[in-house]
Structures are given as structure tokens and as C-alpha cells.
Amino acid sequence: MAHREVLSPPGKRVIMLGNVAIARGFLEAGLQFAAAYPGTPSTEIVEALSTAAKLLGGKPYVEWSVNEKVALEAALGAAIAGARSMAAMKHVGLNVAADPFFSSAYLGVDGALVVVSADDPWMWSSQNEQDNRWYGLHAYIPVVEPTGPQDAKEAAKLALLYSEKYKRPFILRTTTRIAHTRVPVDTGEIPVDRLEPRGEFHKDPSRWTLVPQYARRKRVELLEFWDKISVELASFPLNGTEGSGSLAIVGVGLGYRYAREAARILGVEDDVTVYKIATSVPFPRPMAEKILGHDTVLVVEEGDPVAEIQLKTIAQEEGLRARILGKRDNLLPRYGELGLEKVVNALSKLVGKEPPKWAVDPPTSVEEKLPPRPPVLCPGCPYRGFFYALRRAVNKLRLKPVYSGDIGCYSLGVLPPFHVQDTIIEMGGSIGAGNGFAHVLRGDSDITIAIIGDSTFFHSGITPLLNAVYNNAPLLVIVLDNHTTAMTGHQPHPGTGIRAIGEPGYAMSIESVARGVGVGKVLVADPFDVKDSEAKLLEALRYVKEEKKPAVLIAKGACILVALRAAYRRGIKPVIYRVNIDKCTGCGICYTVFNCPAILRREDRKAEIDPALCTGCGVCAQICPFNAFEPVSELNPEWFKIMRTAKPEQ
Amino acid sequence: MQKDALNIVVTGVGGQGQITLARVIAEAALIRGINAIVAETHGLSQRGGTVIVHVRLGNADAPLIPPGAAHVLLSMELIEAARYSHYLARDSIAVVNDYLVPPPLPGIKVPSTDELVSTIKERAGSLVIIPATQKALETGDVRVANMMLLGAAIEAGAFRDYIDMSSAEKAIQSVLGKAARQNIAALHNGAELARKAIKQ
Ligand SMILES: Cc1ncc(C[n+]2csc(CCOP(=O)(O)OP(=O)(O)O)c2C)c(N)n1
Ligand code: SF4
């Protein structure tokens, strides 16, 4: 069970990941209902809550939902029925959930609802950089931001309590360096009895239905709430003021930590007043008025200039003439993450102090002299052999494929030598955009191949597949079914039949779904068997070309990391492989075309296996034309079974 | 009153145990009442990509270490040690695993160990290189190589008086639980390797 420290006894100081601290904060505030779809950097919140729920006998209720929209709807439903609820997602997840999100502002709740949005500046694990505090402004939903991982627990707790007090949804916005930073956290009491997931629904169509007659009234009430909360957030316990110098630094969220340390590094603590802001939307009006009393104001925030623009608006409205600096004037960069060097530099210009050498003249990186190291498919990943077979099948039929790609480990197929991701848009986009490709790419050898993972298929692949069947889009949909959501750290999904807290659920069959929506050709391949994969691919591709209809091919083989864990747990050690140097001719297929990271090229071009990296998947033995790969000892058939079937375990 | 910040950059290739290494350092500091803050790399980069973890002990607020301000570089791999060597301050120390993982991109040119070592030396005040992975493979479990690196770094004095062998042992106990025994053994093996390396 992951993140057990979430249940550490009260009164202790325990090192926790920001996300685990957030989970702890929710538990201390009496959370009853949690739903999420995994996404970096938000995932560990619900992983930790799952562990808690498992150990506390189902308190609170925790689920992995099928996608973010459903997660938010489920949490909203529970909150309407009086439960203290939360839904967690990565920044782009809120795009998926935007529809119920906007409605939730109008509806309000009877219990509490916190929507956690984990933003990822500089896109460490994301397709875009998106500051979801805009969503707060846009939907009239207040935003709480921890001012660093140091108070992530308190921020989560307070967000839930405030939501309960005002009966309105709140956003808890984190960023990567809050979510994935570990700090000592002081634990408080968890009121275990209050976590019981139990609600009561009070029928009242004037409250719970958004028909125009009610929605119009609610719109007016929402604006009244907004004006009121803009004032009342000034007393939010994590907001505060430090120092009394003439220069104002507004440290918003994590920006506060950079501001504080930068002032210390420059030795100007006495020359500045640091305003610590944990409620960036709406910017607390009384604090803004104090801040705007300074001649010069530096705003330090992670993401877009959301606080800065609000301050400028308030200054305009109040006729105040403070000079407000930050990102709009590029004193701080408008993209990427904050860094001490950036904040120290900006501040030094305002206080006229010499910054340390590393801030003005950072040593240059030798990066360009080194080979890049992008993430790659793991040694033993089922996708490697399958992509190898895919390229062979497409070449055999002399087709001109467009690989409509998607988001998951298989996105790494964008790299050489595979090149099997021509577009990557958003989750579900492979089949969705594939509909468009398929209708306009009409040449004889053109073929659209959508490649989607199992978790992504359940998340948002079914509706576009239905669309393809309905509209006769000639495309091949490949579902890479590795029985897990691998990219985000191996969560289960509806296909696995395992639920968040480890209990059994219904195991949805992708074949049945495909047949159910009317796909005429549904095939299953074994990605660890290159010949089988190639044969099935040829059959499916021919069907799409000849029948001009969609086909679905499901490649079923476990994520090797999950398989290895399952094997270790059962005391099975996979037998690794080695190269028989006499047989190896140095043709290079294995380390170039197949490209397993465990296979190295020797000086003489012959292959060599790194025993520290080999997982024993054995696929290299199938692709070597000279049978040069051999197991180091007798093979265990049990391992080959596990490789194909392993599922994540709680 | 907390001591001045000690900035430690931990690097390597995804999957080599950088996060566990950083966790143990933070835990060892906390055991001695010293504040710790560890900014980790999760998600995509864990698939065999380049990994950097920022560990700050003592009086630190911000999670990230700026280039040029690290006192210590611990690297599980040579190319990654070179890649992040510009994080080091002038009077710093690098403790590096003598292990080179060529990025699996077809046709890529990989620098030699000598070239990499001289790149790291240009930045590091001192450099200790130990064969952690090789030794770990000999003991039958490659996963303990990270604790060998930790032992070597403590032996080399990289952590000054912020953490020591005994707090590291306790930290391993609390972070690694059932796997503590072989990891503590690895810690001492690493210290031994460092003694040999420094003598040479
Ligand atoms: C809307 C949205 N939610 C979540 C994510 C985070 N995310 C990236 S890939 C992925 C799932 C991948 O699972 P799967 O499709 O099974 O592929 P695998 O990683 O197992 O290969 C998730 C949840 C995202 N990018 N977008
Ligand atoms: S984590 Fe699993 S699915 Fe992802 S690349 Fe590795 S083996 Fe493949």
C-alpha cells in the first residue's frame, strides 16, 4: 500500500510528499467522499486516500473514476447530498470536467466540495502549461493555493472547511513543486467517525435544478457571493504579512517561499513587506488595498500573472498609483517554473543590492555536448515488440499510415526508431482526430491508425469509437491493453476489475465494448509474440482497406513493471538473457530497430545485454535472425504467464 | 535556529532509485532535528529518462536549487552527473557511481568515461567515483546501489555535520522497512568503496 504515512498518529512530525500532506489535510477536515482520475502531478492524493480508506474500513469513500468529468460529477452529487467531498485531477483534467464545474458554482452544495487542480508549469509530465486559477475567475469559484508544500496540509483542510461554511465549491490549486515536494508535516487528529460516507438529499428543485428560471436567480446570487468572499478571504488563516519595509512583495502560493528566501539571501528582510497570499482568486480586497498603499509592488506567483492582473484592476478601480511589477513586464519570466535565481535577480534590481554570482551569472550547462536522454519504453515493455510488428505489417502491405497518437506510455513511440505517433493531442484524441483523418485521407495506400491505451480508452475513447462506427470512418483502432494506467504510476481502471481500495469490481471487457458499439472486426493479439501481433495486424489492416469500416485490435500484455512486481511478490525471479557472441553477426537489428535499452552495442558492433536492465521478456530472442539471444538458465513458464496477465495490486 | 541551507542535487537515470536516496537523506536530517525539503521528479521522466531531485537541508524555503548553488552532487550515472554538473558551486563535492548507461537512441554518440569525468571535474571542487552498480550486482541486488552511493558520500564528508552514518541507518530503517538490512549493509559497503577511492 502506497503512502501509509498518511495515517501517522497525531502530534508527530512526519516527512510527507505534498500530495500526501493534502490527503492528510482532507482527512483531518473530515472528508467523506473522494473521486479522481489519475494525472501527474495530482495522482498521489487519491492513492494516499485509498490507502487510508482501506485501513479505516471504507472511510472515507474513495474511487478512481473513469475520467475527470465523472469524478467531479460524482463528488458534486455526494456534496449535494450533504457529504464533504473532493475531486482531484491534473490541470488538463479540469478541461474534461469543465461542464459540471461551471454548473457547480451556480448550484452550490449541502456538504462541501473541493476540486483539486494540480498544475504543471514547464510541462514536466503534461501536454501544455495551463494556470487553472483562470477557471476560478471564469466560473466564480474561489481558489486556495498552499504557500508551499510546507502548508499544503493546512490549505487542503481549510479549503474543505471554507467550502462547508459557504456551501460553495472551492478549488485547491497546487503546482508540481508543491505536489511532488517532500517536507516535514505536523500531524493533527483525524476524526475517523466523521469520515463515514453518509448523506441525505433534501429535494428542492429551486436549489438543485438549473432551468432558466432558477439559474437566473443563481447568477445574481453568485455575483453577490463573489463580492462578499473577496472581502472575507482577507482573514483566511494562511494569508498574512511579514515585515514592514517600503517595498511590497506579494508572494502568491509557492511564490511566497521564493520571495521569502530571496529577501533573506539578499539581506533585505527589513526593506520589504512580504504579503503571503493563499487565496489568489478572488484576490482579497482588503489586502489588495494595503498592498497598493506601497509605491512599488513585486508579485511573485507560479504560472500566469493572475494575482498581478487582479491587483492592477483593483488599483485602477481605486485610483491607486502603485507600480505593480511581475510577469506582465517580464521582470519574472512568463513561462516555466519560478526559481530562486529568477526571484533573487528581480528583487535585486528593485532594492539595488548585489545578488550572489549564481543569480546573475549562472554557470553554463554542458548539455549540448551530451547525448539527450528522453524517457523511453522500459526494457520488456509490451509496446516495443508490438510497435516492431506494426511497422513490419504496414510495410508489408505498402501502406502510408498516419499514426493518430494519444497520451500514455505509448506516446514514447514518437521517438526513433518507432515513429508511430504522428499526432498527440489530448486523451482520446487518437480516435477522435482519427475520425477526421480517415474521412479526408482517401489515397489508395492511405490508412489511419489510432493508437490508444486501455485506461485512455475507458476515459474518452469509447464515444469517438462509436462515432467512427456510426459514420463509417475507415480506421484501425489499436488498444494497447497493459491492464493498468502505467504512465501515472500503475493505477487500476475499469478493465482490471480492481477498485481504488483494492476491492473487486466488474472487469469491463474492451472486446465487448467494441462489439457492443458495433465494430465489425475485433481482434486480440499478444504483444509479447511478434509473429502473432504481425498476423493480427495484417488481418485488421486488410479489413479496414477492403471493407472501408473501422476495426479494433486489442494488444493484451501486462506492463512489465507491474509484472515484475507481481513476480517478486510470488518469489519468482525472471530469467534474464545473454548474447551468444559466436552467433551474433553484429547486424544491429536488436539495438537499432527493436531498440531495447537493455541491449547495448559493443565496440565490434555485436550486441551485449546489460544484466542490470534486462527484464527477461524474451522478445529479443524472437526478433534476432541468428538466434543469438539465449536465457542464462532454464526458463520458468510461470513468468511468461505473469507477463501477460499481471494487474496492479493495492 | 536552523543551520544554513545545504543544497544537494541527486541525479541519475529514471529507475535507479534517486527518490529513495533523497528520502533517506531527508529522513536522516529530520532525525537530527534538521529541516529538509525534497523536490522530486515523478511521472514521465521515470521511464528511463534523466532525473534530478533537489534536496535542501537546514534553513531553506524554496524547493529548487539554482544552477551554481549546489554543495553536493550525487549521481547514479556518469552522463547524468555531467549533465547537471553546472548545478555545483565552486567549493563543492561530487560523488558519482562509475556506471554509464548509453541513452537507447539509435546511432547516438556516447562520450567516454574519461571525457565525462573530466567534464565533472571542471565543476566539482572534489570528485569521488565508486563502482556502486558493479558492487551491487555482485551482492545480488542491483537496487541497493543507491545506498552505496549514500554511504560513500557520508564517508567522503559530503554532508558535513548535517547527517552521519548512524542517522542514515535509522533513516533507512524507517524508509525501507523490510528491506533495511541489505540496504544498511550496502551503506557500509559504499563507505568502504569511498575509502578505497579516496586512498588511490
Ligand atoms: C485529461 C487528462 N487526464 C489525465 C492525464 C494524465 N495521463 C497521462 S497518460 C494517462 C493514462 C495512460 O494510461 P493508458 O492509456 O492505459 O496508457 P499507459 O500509460 O498504460 O501506456 C494519464 C491518466 C492527461 N494527460 N489528461
Ligand atoms: S511503465 Fe509499463 S507500459 Fe510504461 S513503458 Fe514501462 S513497461 Fe511500458
CATH of residue A337: 3.40.50.920
On whether both A471 and A542 belong to a single domain, the answer is yes
Domain assignment of residue B1, yes or no = no
The answer to whether the CB of A272 falls within 8 A of the CB of A248 is yes
A119-146: average pLDDT: 97
Q: Which neighbouring-strand residues pair with A205? A: none
Q: Is residue B61 part of a domain?
A: yes
CA of A485 from ligand 1 middle (Å) equals: 6
Residue A576: band (very low, low, confident or very high) from pLDDT cuts 50, 70, 90: very high
Mean pLDDT, rounded, for A528-541: 98
Could you tell me if B16 lies within 8 Å of chain A, comparing CB atoms?
no
For A645, the 3-state DSSP assignment is helix
Query: Nearest chain A Cα to B109, which residue?
Result: A371
Which is the closest atom of ligand 2 to the Cα of A559?
2
A243 and A230 both lie in a single domain? no
Cβ contact, residue pair B66, A487, below 8 Å: no
The mean of the pLDDT values for chain B is 95
Check pLDDT > 90 for residue B15. Answer: no
Query: Is residue A279 in some structural domain?
Result: yes
The residue assigned the cell 494556470 is A131
Picking from A564, A597, A623, the residue at the C-terminal end of a domain is A564
Provide the pLDDT for residue A174: 98
Give the count of beta carbons closer than 10 Å to the beta carbon of residue A588.
17
Within this chain, do residues A167 and A180 fall inside the same structural domain, yes or no? yes
At A372, the pLDDT band (50, 70, 90 cuts) reads very high
CA–CA gap between residue A369 and residue A583 (Å, rounded): 36
Task: Kindly state if the Cβ of A596 falls inside 6 Å of ligand 2.
Answer: no
CB count within 10 Å of CB A117 equals 29
B70 touches chain A (CB under 8 A): no
Domain co-membership, A501 together with A355: no
DSSP string, A48-97: HHHHHHHHTTS-SEEEE-SSHHHHHHHHHHHHHTT-EEEEEEEHHHHHHT
Do residues A424 and A457 both lie within one domain?
Answer: yes
**What per-residue confidence (pLDDT) applies to B2?**
87
A56 and A126: one domain?
Answer: yes
The answer to whether position A366 is within a domain reads no
Q: A375 vs B119: CB contact, 8 Å cut-off?
A: no
Q: What is residue B45's predicted lDDT score, i.e. its pLDDT?
A: 64
**CATH code where residue B171 lies:** 3.40.920.10
In angstroms, the CA A285 to CA A235 distance is 11
Same domain, A223 and A244: no
Report pLDDT for A255: 98
d(CA A598, CA A579): 12
pLDDT tens across A259-311, in order? 999 999 999 999 999 999 999 999 999 999 999 999 999 999 999 999 999 99
The reported pLDDT for the residue numbered B152 is 98
- Report how many domains make up chain A: 4
Q: Is residue A425 part of a domain?
A: yes
**H-helix or E-strand spanning residue A262:** helix A255-266
Look up cell 497520451; give the residue.
A407
Say how many domains are in chain B.
1
* Cell 482579497, residue located: A284
Protein residue with its CA nearest to atom 9 in ligand 1 = A408
Whether A131 and A162 share a structural domain: yes
Look at strands B36-39 and A181-186 and give their pairing. Answer: antiparallel
Longest dimension (CA), chain B: 54
C-alpha cell at B146: 543507491
Based on the domain organization, do A587 and A560 belong to the same domain?
Answer: no
Using the Cβ of A90 and the Cβ atoms of chain B, whether some distance falls under 8 Å is answered with: no
Cα–Cα distance for residue pair A363/B2, rounded to 1 Å: 28
The predicted structure's pLDDT at residue A649: 84
- Cross-chain CB nearest to A376 (options B22, B104, B111): B104
Query: What CA–CA distance (Å, rounded) separates A297 from B77?
Result: 44
**Domain region containing A555:** 382-564
B50 domain residue, yes or no: yes
The minimum CA-CA distance between B96 and chain A, rounded to whole Å, is: 17
Tell me, yes or no, whether A570 lies in a domain: no
User: Does the Cβ of A67 fall within 6 Å of ligand 1?
Assistant: no
Average pLDDT over residues B1-22: 94
Ligand 1 center from residue A15 Cα (angstroms): 28
> For residue A228, what pLDDT is reported?
98
Task: Tell me, yes or no, if A373 comes closer than 8 A to chain B by beta carbon.
Answer: yes
Helix or strand or coil: residue A252? strand
A571 in a domain, yes or no? no
Structure ipTM over 0.95, yes or no: yes
Same structural domain, A264 and A325: yes
Instruction: Provide the pLDDT for residue B104.
Output: 84
Distance in Å, alpha carbon of A416 to nearest chain B alpha carbon: 7
Q: Looking at residue B106, what is its pLDDT?
A: 81
Domain of B166 in residue numbering reads as 6-102+110-199
* Per-window interface: A 215-274 vs B, CB < 8 A: 254, 257-258, 260-261, 264
The residue whose CA has the least distance to atom 5 of ligand 2 is: A377
- Give the pLDDT mean for A558-576: 96
Which residues 148-167 of B are in CB contact (within 8 Å) with A?
Answer: none
In angstroms, the CA A580 to CA A603 distance is 16
Q: What is the mean pLDDT of residues A449-473?
A: 98
Assign residue A590 the CATH number of its domain.
Answer: 3.30.70.20
Rounded to whole angstroms, how far apart are CA atoms B119 and B74?
A: 15
User: Per the CB < 8 Å rule, is B50 touching A373?
Assistant: yes
- If asked whether residues A137 and A265 sit together in one domain, one would say no
**Whose C-alpha lies nearest to ligand 1, atom 1?**
A93
Cβ of A412 and B47 within 8 Å?
yes
Calculate the average pLDDT of chain A: 97
A140 and A221 part of one domain:
yes
pLDDT at B1 over 80: no
User: Is residue A78 pLDDT above 90, yes or no?
Assistant: yes
pLDDT score of A19 more than 70: yes
Note whether A555 and A527 are within 8 A (CB).
Answer: yes
| Contact (CB<8Å) B48/A597 | yes
Of B48, B66, B111, which is closest to A378 when you measure between CB atoms? Answer: B48
A-B CB pairs within 8 A amount to 181
Percent of all residues in chain A with a pLDDT value above 70, rounded to a whole number: 100
Residue range A469-507, pLDDT digits in tens: 999 999 999 999 999 999 999 999 999 999 999 999 999
CA A328, CA A312: separation in Å to the nearest integer? 11
Residues 95-124 (B) with a CB less than 8 A from some CB of A: 101-111, 119, 123
Query: Could you read off the pLDDT of A387-437 as tens digits, one per residue?
Result: 999 999 999 999 999 999 999 999 999 999 999 999 999 999 999 999 999
Residue A262 lies in a domain: yes
Residue B10 lies in a domain: yes
Q: Whose CA is nearest to atom 8 of ligand 2?
A: A381
Nearest CA in chain A to B54: A181
- Is residue B164 one of the residues assigned to a domain? yes
